[in-house]
Amino acid sequence: MILAIDTSCDETAAALTEGRRVISNVIYSQILIHKKWGGVVPSLAKRAHEKKIDKVIDEVIKKAKKKDIDYIAVTQGPGLAVALEVGIKKAKELAKKYDKKLVAVNHLEGHIYSPFVQNSKGNPNIDFDFPYLVLIASGGHTSLLIFKDHLQYQVLGETVDDAAGEALDKAAKLLGLGYPGGPVIERLSQQVDNKDFYRFPRPMLQSNNLNFSFSGLKTSFYYFLKKINQADKLLNIKLLASSFQEAVFDTLIKKTEKAINLTKINHLLVVGGVSANLRLKTLMKRMIKKHQGKILFPPNKNLTGDNAAMIGVAAYYKVLQNKWVRNIDSLDRIPRLNFNF
Ligand code: KG4
Ligand code: ZN
């Protein structure tokens, strides 16, 4: 069994996993702490992680019937330096105290494995069928990559500025909708029929590469809101939220489609916090059908956002390849960890 820890951003998460199965999974979200600041405040995140980490680990162990832990896994990066630090310190401490092997996991690798995470009974039981095209859409990342085989990735494109979730969060802030913005925007957009009323610009669709950019859209949204008066803004808030969401999702869909055409890979994984969005799921399914492909999402909401279960499962595949940390003391966080490891 693997005890996995993730403190990469604003959730303190621990899980016990066995192969691809989740034995127990605990996520303490700091949303209430950061909400009033309209985004994650690093110093508050650090303090909250420190306050909760022991409790979250105790709880995850208490919930499991079996307690035979063989490995400790921890997110090394990417993420918030002061937040990552808390999980890594704890993981090192536990690995030494109980003489366990320590596995360092890339947070994005965790997201990539999330569609394959199973419940304690082994469901859903989907076999790996490489290669996959992966779209990661979260608060910190928007990336397209090829998942070639276990632990083998090739990055095709990334955002050059804001991530998709970050763009949704910023738009929600401009609309006065609070943090995090993605779920609120989703809820408002469900209440309108004409989902793309304003037709905001689609960033980077003209460019020939597979990179994303959302800052142009954010700026044009900002100036559009400045132009209209407060009453109009409030009156049309659902249409504004929905049109912004459509512009972001249209970009995600078209770039993913471009990647399918380029790579001829029509097995798609869509992961990360934004992949919880039902509108995105519908649009992605529609697109992949045109390409006679298959699509997988994380099986439930606990696995779309940040969690430690996905870290435990990715760690399992690292253990199978003997990829654990040889010198525990030397393990350090890498806030900008990428796929060249
Ligand atoms: O993966 P995640 O929990 O954390 C990161 O690794 O960044 O992603 C968080 C992001 C936030 O920007 C949040 O607004 C967005 O995911 N999000 C959503 C939804 N739920 C969370 N975006 C759109 N629709 C949702 N239902
Ligand atoms: Zn994440």
Query: Distance from the CA of 272 to the center of ligand 1, in angstroms?
Result: 7
Structural domain containing residue 14:
2-121+302-330
Long-range own/partner contacts, residues 36-43 (CB < 8 A, 24 or more apart)? 37/179, 38/173, 38/178, 38/179, 39/169, 39/173, 39/179, 40/9, 40/10, 40/80, 42/80, 42/81, 42/82, 42/83, 43/82
pLDDT per residue over 175-205, tens digit each?
999 889 999 999 999 999 999 999 998 877 7
Residue 336 resides in a domain = no
Name the residue with the closest Cα to ligand 1, atom 8: 273
Same domain flag for 147 and 177: yes
Same domain flag for 311 and 211: no
Same domain flag for 204 and 279: yes
Q: How far is CA 336 from CA 126, 162, 203, in A?
A: 31, 15, 25
The gap between the terminal CA atoms of the chain, to the nearest Å, is 25
Same domain flag for 92 and 33: yes
Name the residue with the closest Cα to ligand 1, atom 7: 139
pTM of the model: 0.96
Q: Which ligand is nearest to the CA of 10?
A: 1
Intervals of the chain under pLDDT 50: 341
Residue 110 resides in a domain = yes
Query: Distance from the CA of 275 to the center of ligand 1, in angstroms?
Result: 8
Long-range own/partner contacts, residues 178-181 (CB < 8 A, 24 or more apart)? 178/35, 178/38, 179/31, 179/34, 179/35, 179/37, 179/38, 179/39, 180/31, 180/139, 180/273
Same domain flag for 33 and 87: yes
Same domain flag for 273 and 203: yes
> 16: domain CATH number?
3.30.420.40
From the list 161, 159, 136, the residue with the least C-alpha distance to 146 is 136
Residues with CB under 6 Å of ligand 1 are: 9, 138-140, 165-166, 168-169, 180-183, 186, 272-274, 276-277, 305-306
pLDDT at 38: 82
Is the alpha carbon torsion for 301, 306, 312, 313 positive or negative? positive
Same domain flag for 156 and 80: no
Owner of token pair 């029509």: 266
pLDDT per residue over 234-288, tens digit each?
989 999 999 999 999 999 999 999 999 999 999 999 999 999 999 999 999 999 9
Same domain flag for 154 and 109: no
Probe residue for ligand 1, chosen from 7, 84, 138 as the CB with the greatest number of ligand atoms within 8 Å: 138
From the list 274, 269, 244, the residue with the least C-alpha distance to 259 is 269
Atom of ligand 1 nearest to the CA of 139: 7
Q: Which ligand is nearest to the CA of 162?
A: 1
pLDDT at 340: 59
Same domain flag for 97 and 241: no
Question: Which tokens go with 17?
Answer: 């996993």
Q: Which ligand is nearest to the CA of 274?
A: 1
Same domain flag for 225 and 294: yes
Same domain flag for 219 and 114: no
Residue 339 resides in a domain = no
pLDDT at 341: 44
Query: Distance from the CA of 323 to the center of ligand 1, in angstroms?
Result: 30
Query: Distance from the CA of 149 to the center of ligand 2, in angstroms?
Result: 21
What is the number of structural domains in the chain? 2
Query: Distance from the CA of 112 to the center of ligand 2, in angstroms?
Result: 10
Question: Which tokens go with 164?
Answer: 């998709």
* CA separation for the pair 110, 231 (Å, rounded): 44
Contact indicator for 78, 107 with CB cutoff of 8 Å: yes
